[in-house]
Amino acid sequence: MSMLKIITAPGAPQPIGPYAHAIQANGFVFCSGIAGVDPTNQALVDGLENQTRQILRNLQAILAEAGSDLAHAVQVSVYLKDMGDFARMNAVYEKLFGAHRPARTCVEVSNLAKPGALIVMDLIALAG
């Protein structure tokens, strides 16, 4: 049986519920859904592009704590409040991931757990 390691990243915003930032198991890091919250003040940043950037920074902090990074991402799930924001989110996403292309799902959702959030992402990566 595999050991599960709870990952808590000081450089990421505090979870808003009873869950870990991520769980490391069997050579993978499973990151929880993350909103565009600034970890220095726990406030949601303004605008879709800024929230997308902040989410990916938060995920980078979580992955770094697990000894990994975005270049080791194998799957990303994107939850948009409005699919009309897809092209703007995608432009920021592409810039931050560069040539790396993890598998991805993107869906529109009616609401998100963090009030005011326009986007949430979760991610699975290879452990470092």
β-strand pairing of 73-80 with 119-126: antiparallel
* C-alpha to C-alpha distances, 99 to 71, 96, 102, 105, nearest whole angstrom: 9, 9, 10, 18
Catalytic residue among 20, 23, 106, 112, which? 106
C-beta neighbour count of 11 within 10 angstroms: 14
Is there a catalytic annotation at residue 106? yes
Q: Report yes or no: 28 and 125 within 8 Å, Cβ to Cβ.
A: yes
**CA angle, 114 then 43 then 75, to 5°:** 55
- Report the catalytic residues: 106
